[in-house]
Structure 1
Amino acid sequence: MFSFLQPVKSISTKELADLSEKNSRIIDVRTPQEYRAGHIKQALNVPLAKIDTYRGKKEEVVYVICQSGMRSKQAAKQLKKNGYEVINVRGGMNQWSGKKVGGR
């Protein structure tokens, strides 16, 4: 069975907001500048260009978010290829209505 050939699962920002209280591992793949402008509190900033440097627990589900959902989809595919259980967040920070840290 070739799991890397299966599409990456995705959820909405609303579904992520419901989960984010449960200490989920969220990776924000936007640039450091975008991240500083406002991000989800527990999100870890790992820009898309450096996604291969991510070393999290393989048994932990990883939620990937960006600004609109395009970069996170690419990052999710790469993380899945690297053996992580990944879920892409559709709509990205553009759709996020929950609390943000940083920014103005």
Structure 2
Amino acid sequence: MGWIFIVVIAAFFVWKIIPSKGVRTITTKELKNILNDQEKVFVDVRTPAEFKARNIRQFKNIPLGSSFDKLPKDKEIVVICQSGMRSNNACKQLKKIGFEHVTNVRGGMSAWN
């Protein structure tokens, strides 16, 4: 019976980290090459305290759970968090509300140097 519980927990975590259909994933190395692209909107979904402690200048802080309604739907939205899990969640939400060009930064700020 215990193995069923382990399988369910493992499936839950795999489901949480698998990118949504239509969400592009990039590395922090790839992010460095696009940071000055005016056709992209950069969103950091960490808490305000996390953002204040360390951030990338081009990113706007919109914590996960906030409204994404004011973001332009005609631009690519690039999302980052601390590890990539919250940003993946945010990307799923953005796709659900009609954003077509959504990109998640794999590894998040933990991978940024």
**Is TM-score (shorter-chain normalized) higher than 0.5?**
yes
Instruction: For 2:82 and 2:69, locate their aligned partners in 1 and report how far apart those are by CA, in whole Å.
Output: 19
CA contact (8 A) 2:68 2:94 kept: no
CA contact (8 A) 1:8 1:88 kept: yes
State the TM-score, normalized to the length of structure 2: 0.76
Give ranges in structure 2 of 5+ residues lacking alignment.
1-19
SS at match of 1:73: helix
CA contact (8 A) 1:46 1:54 kept: no
Give ranges in structure 1 of 5+ residues lacking alignment.
98-104
Aligned to 1:29: 45
State the TM-score, normalized to the length of structure 1: 0.82
Q: How does 1:1-104 map to 2 (within 5 A)?
A: 6-23=21-38, 24-50=40-66, 52-84=67-99, 85-97=101-113
Larger radius of gyration: 2
Q: Which moved more, 1:53-62 or 1:30-39?
A: 53-62
Percentage identity across paired residues of the two chains: 47
User: 4+ residue runs of structure 1 moved beyond 3 angstroms?
Assistant: none
**Number of residue pairs the alignment of both structures matches:** 92
How far 1:54 moved relative to its partner?
3.8
